[in-house]
Amino acid sequence: MKKLVIGLLSLLLLLTGCQKNNQEDGKLNIVVTTTMITDLVETIGGDHVNVKGLMTTGVDPHLYQAKASDATTLIAADLVIYNGVHLEAKLTDVLAKLENAISLESGLDEGDILADDEGGIDPHIWFSVPLWKKAAIRVSKGLSELDPTNAKDYDANLQKYLVELDDLQSYITNKLSVIEGDKRVLVTAHDAFNYFAHSNNFEVRSIQGISTESEASTSTISELADFITKHQIKSVFTESSISPKTIESLQKAVESRGFKVTIGEELYSDSLKDNASYIETFKLNVDAIVRALA
Ligand SMILES: [Zn+2]
């Protein structure tokens, strides 16, 4: 089925080339992948854009596969904006064929992207506020190139948002300051929080790697249970876009070692909370981490 959908997409893309869709309301028709990018583009584009996200809240972007209807949506777009850094792993072929697409990755600098021990690149750039500022700048540039008439508005929206993102970083730093050095360990289902850890002086441990494509192994769970017991870590976290099963087996493994670890509130990792902005969702995560670990 996947091959068929991609084949169909390729054919449609070939037939229509870079044909633009004329919106009756005069707004740009922007198609994005994740909920974080929907929020970002709506913020920078303001009244000049209609944003359609392929993925809704709670959807795992590592595993998302193109639906047949996505072809029409992508072709009708004036501009497609996606994360890149191999986040949309199953859409790579489709996105690469689009002429009207930009990635947030293209707004980053060399050295910004983190890698795991095996050299796999980490796509979760939205968990670094400094990198999300670069993503916002990239979106503003992309919209201005497409629609120079309104470039001043995109820049004004950008400047306002950059200040809000600086305020967010201050909020994060202040809130987390109550968690002492040796308690700054975040144990989660998959490795979404490396950028968060990197900017906020945390250590992260997870059951799955930086993508949810790989299965959790029992040896990883066992090693992690040893680590939690040894360091007496109070809480581990589940994530909104991932099944809590692996975290529950980790909790059981810790219990069998004679230590009790609680499961903290669900963190929003690869998708925003329903009807909440990026900034609001980030604050909810930080508050939950403070409640569990402070
Ligand atoms: Zn992820």
Full residue range of the structural domain in which residue 220 is found: 178-293
What is the whole-number distance in angstroms between the Cα of residue 18 and the centre of ligand 1?
Answer: 31
41 and 160 within one domain: yes
At 137-153, the pLDDT tens digits run 999 999 999 999 999 99
Whether residues 115 and 150 fall in one domain: yes
- Expressed in angstroms and rounded, the spacing between residue 47 Cα and the centre of ligand 1 is 31
**Whether residue 39 is found in the same domain as residue 104:** yes
Angle subtended by helix axes 151-176 and 35-45, to nearest 10 = 130
What pLDDT, in 10s, does the model give residues 7-19? 656 655 555 544 4
Q: How far apart are CA 179 and CA 185, in angstroms?
A: 10
Examine the pLDDT at 106 and tell me if it is beyond 50: yes
Q: How many structural domains comprise the chain?
A: 2
Q: What mean pLDDT, rounded, does the chain reach?
A: 90
Of 131 and 239, the one with more pLDDT: 131
pLDDT above 70 for 268: yes
Instruction: Give yes or no: residues 194 and 66 share one domain.
Output: no
Last residue of a domain, one of 153, 172, 191: 172
Percent of all residues in the chain with a pLDDT value above 70, rounded to a whole number: 91
Ligand 1 centroid to 160 CA: how many Å? Answer: 28
Q: % helix / strand / coil in the chain, to the nearest 5?
A: 50, 15, 35
What does the alpha-carbon distance between residue 26 and residue 51 come to, in Å, rounded to a whole number? Answer: 13
CA distance 107 to 142: 10
Q: In the prediction, which pLDDT does 21 show?
A: 47
Task: Note whether 138 and 222 are same-domain residues.
Answer: no
Q: Which of 40-44, 98-102, 217-221, 265-269 has the lowest mean pLDDT?
A: 217-221
Ligand 1 centroid from CA 60, angstroms: 7
- The residue among 110 and 241 whose pLDDT is bigger is 110
Report CA(85)–ligand 1 centroid distance (Å).
11
Distance 209 CA to ligand 1 centre (A): 9
Q: Of 172, 206, 228, which residue constitutes the final position of a domain? A: 172
Those residues whose C-beta lies under 8 Å from the C-beta of residue 294, and which sit 6 or more positions away, are 178, 179, 183
The DSSP bridge partners found for residue 274 are none
For position 200, what pLDDT does the model report? Answer: 95
**What is the distance in A from the centroid of ligand 1 to the CA of 211?**
5
State in Å: Cα 192 to ligand 1 middle. 5
Same domain, 153 and 214: no
| C-beta separation of 86 from 149 below 8 A | no
Do 163 and 182 have their domain in common?
no
77 backbone dihedrals φ, ψ, rounded to 5° = -75, 145
Residue 180 CA to ligand 1 centre (angstroms): 27
Judge if 162 and 32 occupy the same domain.
yes
Residue-wise pLDDT tens digits, 197-237? 999 999 999 888 767 776 677 888 999 999 999 999 999 99
- Residues 261 and 191 reside in one and the same domain: yes
Cβ burial of 180 (10 Å; 0-12, 13-18, 19+) is exposed
Q: For residues 57 and 142, state if they share a domain.
A: yes
CA–centroid distance, 142 to ligand 1, in Å, is 25
203 shares its domain with 116: no
Both 163 and 203 in one domain: the answer is no
pLDDT band at 246 (very low <50, low <70, confident <90, very high): confident
Calculate how far, in angstroms, residue 71's C-alpha sits from the geometric centre of ligand 1.
24
